[in-house]
Amino acid sequence: MSKLGLNVDHVATLRQARYRDTTHGLTPEPSVLTAALLAEKAGAHGITVHLREDRRHIQDADVALLRRTIKTNLNLEMAVTPEMVRHALKTQPDEVCLVPENRAEVTTEGGLDVKRSLARIKKAILPLKKAGILVSAFIAPDPDQIQAAADIGADYIELHTGTFANATTKRAQLTELKRHVRGEALAKRLGLKVNAGHGLHYTNVQVYLKALPEVDTLNIGHSIISRAVFVGLDKAVREMLALIK
């Protein structure tokens, strides 16, 4: 069975909408840590956070607190910058996922161009791998990018499912699924494990898994947090796990 990694960024987004300044002795809510612990209790296999350079939602203290507290896998999404590498080495997540970052975007759009920055990325991840941190690259299911991920020594790739999730016709969806199936097969031949994420939700997750049943982890955030507004986080996580099973 594929595993579920809950991305709790949107919990932090809601908190930051009110509590950007925490110097007044107030307790910021909702709590990212509480969300993570509830998700673990409900059966989530890991927690994902994206520490952005502009700190628009997840904060350094969130990552540190999660690292000290949660019992499941901590996946840190991060840009390939010296600052983020230093932060990962300091906090020691179980794995990092290298992502592109554009400060004008609402959420991460598009995969990382590993091929274009091969030498720079390979140099950046050397200390991470030396520290025992697993490394993943968030990429489109493009053969050149998958090969590049193998060339830099990544342990995983995370296939960007945004184009699949945003497809407006079954034909477009099927075309994209075929790309992912071919990409997964190539990754496995190259010795890479495969995760997937971006835009997956309660309606399309089984369609995706029917085509790629051996994906290791699905990292899902917005859909589950949105569902939790109405049914609670425990039920929202359990419902997604039931679909994945």
Q: Which residues are designated catalytic?
A: 50, 77, 198
Distance between CA atoms of 21 and 46, rounded to whole angstroms?
29
CA-based nearest residue to 149, from 190, 108, 110: 190
Distance between CA atoms of 97 and 76, rounded to whole angstroms?
6
CA distances to 5, 194, 227 from 46, in Å: 4, 15, 18
CA-based nearest residue to 142, from 186, 101, 174, 106: 186
Residue 102 makes CB contacts below 8 A (sequence gap 6+) with 109
Count the alpha carbons within 13 Å of 70 in the hemisphere toward its beta carbon: 33
